[in-house]
Amino acid sequence: MERIRIDFCYDRCVTEWSQWSSCSAECGGGTRTRSRRIDEEDYCKGLPNTKRNELLQSAPCNPVCEHGATRLEQGGCLCPPGRTGTCCHTEITCNYPGRPMNGDLEMMQPLVYGRIISFSCDEGYVMTDGDIDIVCNGQGKWNGTKPTCTAKMVGQAIAMGMKSCTHVILATNLLVLQIIHYSCSEGYRLRGSSQSTCLSNGKWSGNTRECDPIWCEPPIEPVNGKLLPPKSKYYYGQAVGFSCEPGFIMEGVQKLRCRERGPDSPVVIGSGGGEWNGEAPTCTAVSCGDPGPPQNGAKDGSIFYFPHSVVFSCYAGYILQGASEVQCTEGGTWSAPPPACIPCPKNTYKNNGRLDTECLACPPNSHTVTAASTSQAQCLCDQGYRSDENGVCREVRCPILSAVEHGNLASCDNVMGSVCEMTCEDGYILSSGSGKRQCLGDGSWSGSQPRCQPCGMNTYKEEGGNVCLPCPLHSHTNAVAQQKGDAGGPCEDVDECAANSGRGDCEDTCKNLDGGYECSCTTVPVDKTCTNLTTDDAPENGGLVCHWYREQNSQYCSLRCNDGYEFFSGINKYETCGATTGYEWSFEVRNETIPDCYEEYFPGFRLEADAFYFVRKCKDLTPSEQDDVKKTFAAVLDDNQVCKLRGTKLCNLDNFGIICGNETLRRRKRSTDGQEYDEEVSEVKIQLEVRGNKVLDSSTEANRICALLRIPRSRCTVRIATEAYKRYLKAAVMFSGNQLKSLFRRPER
């Protein structure tokens, strides 16, 4: 029950959560927070610091790295080549280098990372320095320099193709079989034999020889990409670049260069004698990164590349806020931010995860304890209502009460929280049950059915009181159920002095008074008296507050419980003993005992007024607190006309006392399997009463004591016997106490 109380107050003693804050990071994983504050109400004060400390919550946000970036473990994004910025939104570009004088270039806009520019010279010009092609790198710079086109020399055209011929000068003494060798300039290949032999007929062997330019077939164009620039053939030294379509990124080299086929390369018939210096790259779809499921929701889709989509949904009790479907765009970003799953507010519910279902309101007269409820079954009836067999919350009504015999019932309702009060007719008092009963949430009345009991002979009931008061000494009534009216009565005075020749019970002079008599030399003998209550009679974990009403030879004791303890059942306002009870205590007349106090079921909630509880343990009350308890009890007696006799207030604080009961002890123990548990141990108090005869001033008494204590008779005197007997009694008490302690000593752990 305490757990339920804490949860109840937890839901009501804090404000609603604030809106989520902005994310601490734009991408790569950040944190957002929300908060609430304590809005404490009186009945929730003093709760243990449990859930109410949860005033700040945090949640991850923006986990995705876009544009093909990689998420780092410590947070943030590692940009791929060609991208820069905190979240890689900026694409790296290179400046336009311009055309070479007397030349041209081939390129594709924009000049982003990996783009290639190929240069060429006009006819009649050759490149003398610089590079045939340049590439835009990751720093926004060109790898290579723009070339220079220089006019050809006249002799170059004649010598073109003959790089290192062996010139043979014909002479008359030229030998037969002498050989000359042919080779071509770089970028050309020899067509025909590479050597010629001087034959016996004086002619050179072989046919005409030519130096043909080396060229390469276009490489295979990558899927979702293209060649830059596209050509039917690429000559020796020329480069081809690659680019990918939007939504795809390149994996592999960004350009290839045509070179002469090596001696170990396979011969391809019809080719230009060239080969590429590597493998062509591939174009891979851009990744937008895993958007992750929304908190309290799920995602459908595991491919996060362009142009695939992901669908989101929320769990039961939550509604989707944002796009239910997002698509990975060509820029490596999702078409919309990830959505959020918002809990259905209190007093509503949603029993499925469908997007077209809204939060439904609870039926009339019902509510939910928390937000995000998942079914109508979590809609609980409001206070004062309970569910019928059809699940409809109906107003709680208790059975209609009726007046008991000799009782009167004040007009009252029977809805939850209504209080009905029962009073007794004149001459009758409530002897059991509850005078006030409240309609509870389960449709039952608190307390029990009261009973009106008539005041006995020689007692009467004061107007507005609920206790039978004894008639004044030496007065009586003629019937039961007597009520004191405005005209006085109902007790009739008796002339106690009529007997014994006008002396009554007096030895000398007797004076008859209203409600008694007065002797001039003695007091009235009392044949019976009430037994004083002790600690053994007082309730455990509580105590008794008693008033000794000596003028009426009666006593009144009220039951009180220590702080944190509760009455096991309803109680009378106090117990009484006097002439009306035959000088027996009222609980003895009922064949009952004074009930003990037990730990409260609902700490801080009491059915009785606070005046029926001690502010702390009975034994720990300060003198000031004891006086407050006595004054409170005196006020109760005064309200019930107990403290008034013929208009004179008789209750005196000097006649009040407090009797404390035993307390329940607890100790922590450990079972054989290692589990700890609490064990209640009732306090045992043992009182030793040692009686000894008083040593009279006689040698006979002294000799008997000396013989008992083995004192030589020659040394036995009355003084020595007296001192020795006192020491003997003291030793007997201490010895008995030690023996009892050994029997009842708490066992060692």
Per-residue pLDDT reduced to its tens digit, 54-97: 778 888 888 788 887 888 877 788 888 888 888 888 888 999 98
Handedness of CA 600, 602, 608, 614 (dihedral sign): positive
Please state, for a pLDDT cut of 70, what percent of the chain lies above it: 75
Q: Which helix (H) or strand (E) holds 3?
A: helix 2-12
Q: How far is residue 293's CA from residue 64's CA, in Å, rounded to a whole number? A: 12
> In this predicted structure, what is the pLDDT of residue 726?
73
Q: How confident is the model at residue 434 (pLDDT cuts 50, 70, 90)?
A: confident
Q: How far is residue 125's CA from residue 405's CA, in Å, rounded to a whole number? A: 133
Q: How confident is the model at residue 581 (pLDDT cuts 50, 70, 90)?
A: confident
Protein fold of 155-285? Complement Module; domain 1 (2.10.70)
Over 60: is that where the pLDDT of 32 sits?
Answer: yes
Over 50: is that where the pLDDT of 162 sits?
Answer: no
Neighbours of 341 (CB within 10 A): 22
Hey, do 93-154 and 155-285 end up sharing a CATH topology, with the first three levels equal?
yes
Over 70: is that where the pLDDT of 43 sits?
Answer: no
> In this predicted structure, what is the pLDDT of residue 526?
53
Over 80: is that where the pLDDT of 736 sits?
Answer: no
> In this predicted structure, what is the pLDDT of residue 463?
79
Structural domain spans, the chain = 1-91, 93-154, 155-285, 542-666, 689-744
How many residues are listed for the chain in this entry?
749
Look up residue 197 and give its two tokens.
């032999």
Average confidence (pLDDT) over 590-596: 81
Over 90: is that where the pLDDT of 465 sits?
Answer: no
> In this predicted structure, what is the pLDDT of residue 419?
92
Q: How confident is the model at residue 651 (pLDDT cuts 50, 70, 90)?
A: low
Average confidence (pLDDT) over 231-247: 86
Q: How far is residue 355's CA from residue 340's CA, in Å, rounded to a whole number? A: 12
> In this predicted structure, what is the pLDDT of residue 158?
28
Over 70: is that where the pLDDT of 644 sits?
Answer: no
CA distances from 321 to 288, 371, 701 (A): 21, 16, 105
Q: How confident is the model at residue 309 (pLDDT cuts 50, 70, 90)?
A: very high
> In this predicted structure, what is the pLDDT of residue 643?
61
Q: Which helix (H) or strand (E) holds 635?
A: helix 623-639
When comparing pLDDT for 648 and 601, which is higher?
601
> In this predicted structure, what is the pLDDT of residue 222?
92
Q: How confident is the model at residue 4 (pLDDT cuts 50, 70, 90)?
A: very low
Q: How far is residue 428's CA from residue 435's CA, in Å, rounded to a whole number? A: 13
When comparing pLDDT for 270 and 701, which is higher?
701
Return the amino acid letter for 60: P
When comparing pLDDT for 403 and 132, which is higher?
403
CA distances from 444 to 166, 485, 570 (A): 127, 38, 16
Average confidence (pLDDT) over 98-113: 85
Average confidence (pLDDT) over 146-171: 46
* Superfamily of structural domain 1-91: Thrombospondin type-1 (TSP1) repeat (2.20.100.10)
CA distances from 225 to 82, 222, 245, 251 (A): 17, 5, 5, 11
93-154 belongs to CATH 2.10.70.10 = yes
Average confidence (pLDDT) over 713-723: 77
CA distances from 573 to 33, 570, 598 (A): 56, 10, 18
Q: Are 283 and 249 in contact (CB under 8 A)?
A: yes
State which of 124-133, 157-166, 359-368 shows the largest mean pLDDT: 359-368
> In this predicted structure, what is the pLDDT of residue 286?
87
Q: Are 94 and 60 in contact (CB under 8 A)?
A: no
- Beta bridge pairs of residue 297: 314
Q: What's the chain's average pLDDT?
A: 77
- Cis, bond preceding 472 (omega within 30 deg of 0): no
> In this predicted structure, what is the pLDDT of residue 8?
53
- Give 154-199 as a 3 state SS string: HHHHHHCCCCCCCCCCCCCCCCCCCEEECCCCCCEEEECCCEEEEC
Q: How far is residue 452's CA from residue 532's CA, in Å, rounded to a whole number? A: 28
When comparing pLDDT for 666 and 91, which is higher?
91
Return the amino acid letter for 436: K
Average confidence (pLDDT) over 199-207: 74
Helix (H, G, I), strand (E, B) or coil at 572: coil
The model carries a pTM of 0.41
Average confidence (pLDDT) over 677-691: 52
Q: Are 274 and 257 in contact (CB under 8 A)?
A: no
Q: Which of 209-218, 236-245, 406-415, 458-467 comes out lowest in average pLDDT?
A: 458-467
> In this predicted structure, what is the pLDDT of residue 311?
93
> In this predicted structure, what is the pLDDT of residue 167?
35
Among 247, 225, 250, 223, which residue's Cα sits nearest to residue 305?
247
Over 80: is that where the pLDDT of 178 sits?
Answer: no
Tokens 């009790």, residue? 317
655 conformational bin, left if phi > 0, alpha if psi -120 to 50, beta if neither: alpha
Q: Which of 174-188, 223-237, 709-723 comes out lowest in average pLDDT?
A: 174-188
- Number of helices (H) and strands (E), helices first, in the chain? 6, 56
Over 80: is that where the pLDDT of 25 sits?
Answer: yes
- Give 486-523 as a 3 state SS string: CCECCCEECCCCCCCCCCCCCCCCEEEECCEEEECCCC
> In this predicted structure, what is the pLDDT of residue 164?
32
Over 50: is that where the pLDDT of 470 sits?
Answer: yes
Q: How confident is the model at residue 647 (pLDDT cuts 50, 70, 90)?
A: very low
How wide is the angle at C-alpha 654 spanned by C-alphas 651 and 658, nearest 5°? 100
When comparing pLDDT for 111 and 646, which is higher?
111
> In this predicted structure, what is the pLDDT of residue 326?
92
Q: How far is residue 387's CA from residue 366's CA, in Å, rounded to a whole number? A: 9
Running DSSP on this structure, what letter comes out for residue 352? S
Q: How far is residue 464's CA from residue 485's CA, in Å, rounded to a whole number? A: 11
State which of 43-52, 447-456, 498-507 shows the largest mean pLDDT: 447-456
- Beta bridge pairs of residue 258: 276
Average confidence (pLDDT) over 423-429: 88
Q: How confident is the model at residue 300 (pLDDT cuts 50, 70, 90)?
A: very high
